[in-house]
Structure 1
Amino acid sequence: MHFSIPDTQEVTDGSGSTYTSFNIHINGVFHCTARFSLLYSFHDQLKKEFGANSLPPFPPKKVVSQKLWAKKWNLKRYYFLVFSVSQEAAIANSDVFNSFLLTAQQETQKEQPENVSLDIYLMNGHKISVNIISTDQTEDVLETVASQIDLPDDFVYYFGLYLVKKEGEAETSIVRKLQDFESPSISLKSANVKGVHRIVLRKSYWDASFDDELLANKVAMNLLYVQAVSDIERQWVLVTKDQKEHLKSLQQKGSKREFLRLARTLKHYGYIQFHSCTVDYPQPHTRVIIAAGNKELNFRIFVKPDSLKEAVFKITRIRCWRITTTVDDNSDNPDSSMLELSFEYLIAKDTLQWVTIQSEQAILMSMCLQGMVEELIMKKQGKKIKKPSDRVRRGKKSFARENSIPSGLVQSPSSEKEEKTHLPVTTRHLNKTVSKMQDLKLGKGRGAQNGDSVTNTAFEDAIGDDDL
C-alpha cells in the first residue's frame, strides 16, 4: 500500500473555527481528508486492537519546528511504518483499519448511505447491474456480484473488482484493483468526472494452476473464458499464427474448457500489460513494454522500432522495491513530476543491481509485485484463497475523539487534478525492520530522491543455488 499526504487544506467547521485538514492519497489517488484529531483517534483504536508495542509512536500535535510541513512529514512516516508493520501483523486487513478509511472516504465525499444500482462489467463489455448500498465496501459488492451470477462461495475471492479506464475507441487500461477500505460506488463517482471509467470483474490471482479449481464450475469457467478471449484480442497474451487459428477453431466449436487449456500454455497468459515506458536497463532511456505475471516482471525491450528482445526479472530475486516521484530541477511546472518504480535485483550471485522504471503506472506495477509476493508466501504456507465465510463482520466503528466524525470534511481536490499522483519523498531506502525504518530523514531539494522501500519477504527464503 502506498500512502502520502501531499498537501493540506484550511477548513472552517460549523462553529466558524478553522483547522488544518490533511489530504490523504492511497495507491496514487486521493482517498480522503482528515483532521489531526481523527487520525489520532485512529491510532488509539489500532493500539486497543493490536497493542502499543505493535505500532510506531504517533507524532505529537505540536512539533518542535511548529511548521506544518514537519507535522505532515511525521504523519507520512508514521503511516508508512504502520503499513510496513501491517504486512506481517495483518493490520491492513483488520476491521479497524478498513473501517477508518472507508468512513473517512464516505465523510469526505459527503456520501449518505442509499440504495443504488451499480454497473459491473466483464472484459468483453457484458454488464452486470447490482443493487447495493452506496457506501458498501469492495468485498460486500464483490459478494453481491457473485451471488447474482451464481458464482459459488468457494470461488468468490478468486476474482476482484478493478477500476478500468477507456483510452480510445477499443482500448482500455487497468487503473488499479479496488481495495476493501473503499466503496466502489464512491470511488467510481470520484474518478468518473469525464465518464471514462468503469468497474470490471477480473480474476485476482497470479498462479495459472488455480484455473484447475475453477474449470469444473460453469460460471467460474465462463468468467475465465471471457477474460482469456479479451486478453488475447488486445494482445496481452502473445500467440503465433497457428495458435490463433487453433483458438479460433475451439471458439467456433464452443469448446471453452479446451480453449482455456490451450490459452494457459501461451506466453503472458494471466499477465497484466502496461503502457510503453522508459527504463535504465540495459542502458538509460531504454523503451520497453512491461508485463507482470507468473512470478516475474517481463521486459520486451525495443532494440529497433520493429525489433524486440526479452529480459525477465523473477520476483524471488527482487530484494526490495520503492516508488519515488522525481521533479525536474530546471522546471517551474509543478506537474512535471514523473513516477518511478525501482527494484534491487539479484543479477548474479552476490551481485545486486537497481533497475528503475519511469511510468505513470508505477504504483500499479508495485501493487502487482506485492500481490505476486503475497500469493507465493500464501502457497508456501499451505494457505488457501479466502471465502466469504472467513470474513470477520463487525459493526461500524467510530473514530472521532468525542465519538463522532468531525464536521468540515471537504470534497476531493479539483477534478482536473484528480488523477495526479503524489507520493512521499525521502532520502534513503529502508531496511527490513521497523526499528531501522524509524531512522528515516526528511528529504530536501527538488531533484530525484529515494522513496520508502518495500522489503520482499519472499527474497531470502525462496532463492536456491539453482536460481543463480
Structure 2
Amino acid sequence: MHFSIPDTEECKDDRGSSFTSYNLHVNGVFHCSVRYSQFHDFHEQLKKESGNSFYGSDRFPPKKLLPLTSVQKKERRERLEKYIQAVSQDGRIVNGDLFKGFLLSAQKETRREEPRDESLNVYLMNGNKVTIDIKSTDQTDDVTEAAAAKIGLPDDLVYFFALFIMKETKEKHAEIVRRLQDFESPYISLNSAEGRNKLVFRRCYWDPIFDEEVMSNRVALQLLYIQTVQEVQQGWLSGTKEQFKRLDALRTKNSRREYLQFAKTMKYYGHIIFKPCIVDYPEPDTKVTISAGNKELYFRVKEEGKDKEGVFRITRIRCWRISLLGETNPTGDHKSDSQLQLSFEYLVSKSKLQWINVVTEEAILMSLTLQSMVEELLLVKRGGKVKRPSDRIKGPTRQFKGRDGGVVTSVSSTTPGIPEDSSKASTQQSEEDPKPLLSTGSVKKITDMFHSTQSPSPGFVATSSVENDIFDGGIGEEDL
C-alpha cells in the first residue's frame, strides 16, 4: 500500500480555534483528514500495545510547545508521511484491528458518516448486479462476504475475489480504478469517488494455478467465465482469428469450462492491461503497453507496424518505488498536475541491476499489482492458503481521538497469519527448490553484492518504496 500526505489545510474547530489538518492519501486517493493530535493518540496506542519495537516507532514527530512556523509545518507533514509509510510496512500492525480501526474511524469522521442501514449494489463483470443490506460504515471484508453470500459463493473461495471500484469509459468498458482495502468503508469510498463509478466483484488472483480450485464450484466457475468473456471483448487476450472463432463458438454453446480451458492457452490470459505509457527501456521516451500477470510484466512496443515484446520476471525485480515529478507550491505541497512514475530495479544480468522507469497515471495501480503478485508467489512457495471468512477475528471496540477532541469509536476485524503447511513447504523446498526460502533480511544481504547502474530519473521525489521479498539474486547466466 502507498500512503502519502501531499498537502494540508487550515481549519477551525467549533470554538473558532485554528488548527492544521493533514490530508492522508492511500493508494493515490484521498482517504481522510487527520489532526496531529489524532496521529499522536494513535501513536501512543501503538506504543502501549507494541512497546517501541514496531517498525517506524522512532519516526513520529515530537510535540511543539509554541505555534509552528510555515517551515515547521512542512517538516511535520513530511515526518508524519514518513511515519505512516514506515508503520504500514510492519505486517503485525497493518493487519491488526488497531491500524484498520484508526483509518476506518478517520474516514468515517472526515465524511461525517454515521452508521445506518443501507442497500448497496455490487456488480458482476457482465453488468448484472446483486443488492446487499449493509451498515454504511461496514469495512470492506464485511461487504465482500455479504456479496459472496448473496451470490452463493462458498467460504473457501470468497477471497479469490475482491471488491474493486471501476468506472465506465466512453467505450462502455469498465476501467479498474482500484481495489478496496479492509480499512475503508466501500459505501463511503464509492460515494466519495469522482466520476461515474460502481462497485465490482471480480477475480483478484494472478496465477492460473488457482483456476482448477476455483472452477470446481459452479458459482465461482461462472464468475471466472464472465470475467474472461469481458476481457476477451475488451481485447486483453492475444490470439489468432481461428482462436477467437473457437472462443465465440464455445460461448454460443455456453460451454463455460471448455471456454476457460481454451482461453488459458492464449497469451495474456488472466492479465491486467494498463493504459499506454512512456518508459526509458529499451530507449528513452519509448511508448509501450504494459500487461501484468502470471509472475511477469510484458512491455509491448509498436515498431514498423509489428508488436515487439519484452518480458520482466517478478522474481528478478529487486525493489520498486513510486515517484512524483513536478513543482511544489510555496508551502512545499506538490501541485495537482505532478506526474507519477513507477521505477523498478531489475536484474538484467548475473551481477547487474538496472533501474527501469515508467511514467504513467496508473503507477500506483501498477505497483499494487506487483505487490499482489509477490504476495501470491510467497503464499504458493510457502504452502500457505488463501484466507477464509472463518479466519477473521473481530476486534474490540476501539476509541480514537476525534478532530474536535472528542471520542470516535470503531470496530474492525483482523486476519492473523495462516500457519503454513509445514510438510508441504518442506517438500517443495527439498524437491523443487534446494535453496532456503528468502527472508527480507537475506534478500537485503544478497543484494549487497550488486550495484545499481543508474538511479531513477532526476527531479523525481520518491514517495514510497517496496522491497521484493521474493527477489532471487542467485541466478546464473544460463537463466538469463
State TM-score, norm by structure 2: 0.84
1:124 is aligned to 2:130: no
AA matched with 1:10: E
Deviation at 1:299, TM superposition (A): 0.7
Match of 1:170 in 2: 172
Q: How does 1:34-49 map to 2 (within 5 A)?
A: 34-49=34-49
Paired amino acid for 2:106? A
Over 3 Å counting, the alpha-carbon distance change for 1:403 and 1:394 in structure 2 is: farther
In structure 1, what is the equivalent of residue 61 of structure 2? 59
How far apart, in 1, do the equivalents of 2:39 and 2:166 lie?
31
Structure 1 equivalent of residue 321 of structure 2: 322
Distance 1:373 1:209 in 2: 15
The whole-number CA distance in structure 2 between the counterparts of 1:121 and 1:253 is: 24
**Mapped pair 1:452 → 2:453:** no
Is the 1:277–1:358 Cα contact (8 Å) retained in structure 2? yes
Cα deviations by residue, 1:47-71 (Å, 9 ceiling, x for unpaired): 2333311232221122998510011
Question: In the alignment, what sits opposite 2:354?
Answer: 353
Give the secondary structure class of the aligned counterpart of 2:398. coil
- 1:138 and 2:137 correspond: no
Tell me which residue corresponds to 1:79.
Answer: 84
Deviates more, 1:247-256 or 1:455-464: 455-464
- Find out whether 1:256 has 2:246 as its counterpart: no
Compute the displacement of 1:96 (Å): 0.8
Corresponding residue for residue 411 of structure 1 = none
- Aligned partner of 1:385 in structure 2 is 386
What fraction of aligned residue pairs are identical, expressed as a percent?
Answer: 48
Matched, 1:179 2:178: no
Q: CA RMSD in A?
A: 2.3
| Distance (Å, rounded) in 2 between the aligned partners of 1:180 and 1:465 | 42
Aligned-partner SS, 1:202: strand
Change (3 A) 1:396 1:238: farther
Q: Deviations over 1:399-452 (max 9, x none)?
A: 22877149xxxxxxxxxxxxxxxxxxxxxxxx959xxxxxxxxxxxx9333443
CA distance in 1, matches of 2:373, 2:231: 19
Matches of 1:285 and 1:328, distance apart in 2: 21
Structure 1 residue 198 displacement after superposition? 0.8
2:350 and 2:475 in contact (8 A); partners too: no
Q: How does 1:10-409 map to 2 (within 5 A)?
A: 10-56=10-56, 57=58, 58-62=60-64, 66=69, 67-84=72-89, 86=90, 89-192=91-194, 194=195, 196-304=196-304, 306-327=305-326, 334-400=335-401, 404-405=407-408
Deviations 1:50-103 (A, max 9, x none): 33112322211229985100111111111121122x2xx332111111111111
Alpha-carbon distance, 1:396 to partner: 3.0
The CA deviation at 1:264 is 1.4
SS at match of 1:125: coil
Q: CA deviation at 1:186?
A: 0.4
Q: What letter matches 1:128 in structure 2?
A: V
SS state at 2:289 partner: strand
Contact 2:108 2:137 in 1 (8 A): yes
Distance 1:182 1:463 in 2: 40
In the TM superposition, what is the alpha-carbon distance from 1:282 to its structure 2 partner?
0.5
- Which residue of the partner structure matches residue 421 of structure 1? none
Task: Name 2:416's counterpart in structure 1.
Answer: none
Deviation at 1:283, TM superposition (A): 0.5
Which range moves more in the overlay, 258-267 or 163-172? 163-172
Q: Deviations over 1:236-291 (max 9, x none)?
A: 11121111111112112221111111111211111111111111110111001111
Instruction: State the Cα deviation string for residues 132-188 of structure 1 (Å, max 9, x = none).
Output: 111111100000001111100000001000111112142331111110011111001
1:377 shift after superposition: 0.7
Equivalent AA in structure 1 for residue 361 of structure 2: E
Q: Alpha-carbon deviation of 1:204? A: 0.9
Amino acid at match of 2:234: R
Question: Is the CA contact (8 Å cut-off) linking 1:163 and 1:197 kept in structure 2?
Answer: yes
The secondary structure found in structure 1 opposite 2:461 is coil
**Runs of 5+ unmatched residues, structure 1:** 407-430, 434-445
In the alignment, is the contact (CA less than 8 A) between 1:286 and 1:302 conserved in 2?
A: no
Distance 1:222 1:63, change over 3 A: farther
Q: Distance in 2 between matches of 1:360 and 1:146?
A: 31
Describe the SS at the equivalent of 1:398. strand
Distance, in Å, in 2 between the alignment partners of 1:274 and 1:369 is 13
Deviation at 1:18, TM superposition (A): 1.7
Offset at residue 26 of structure 1 (A): 0.7
Give the counterpart letter for 1:76 in structure 2: E
- Return the letter of the residue paired with 2:84: Y
Provide TM-score, normalisation by structure 1: 0.86
Residue 360 of structure 1: how far off its partner (Å): 0.3
For residue 417 of structure 1, what is the aligned residue in structure 2? none
Matched, 1:467 2:468: no
Paired position in structure 1 for 2:440: none
Q: Distance in 2 between matches of 1:236 and 1:17?
A: 54
SS, match of residue 164 in structure 2: strand
- Please tell me whether the aligned partners of residues 4 and 81 of structure 2 are also in contact (alpha carbons under 8 angstroms): yes
Q: Which of structure 1's runs of 4+ aligned residues deviate more than 6 A?
A: none
The CA distance in 1 between the partners of 2:126 and 2:478, in whole Å, is 41
Once residues 272 and 152 of structure 1 are traced to their aligned partners in structure 2, the CA distance between those partners, rounded to angstroms, is 26
What is the identity, as a one-letter code, of the residue corresponding to 1:2? H
Residues 23 and 33 in structure 2, CA contact (< 8 A), matched pair in contact too: yes
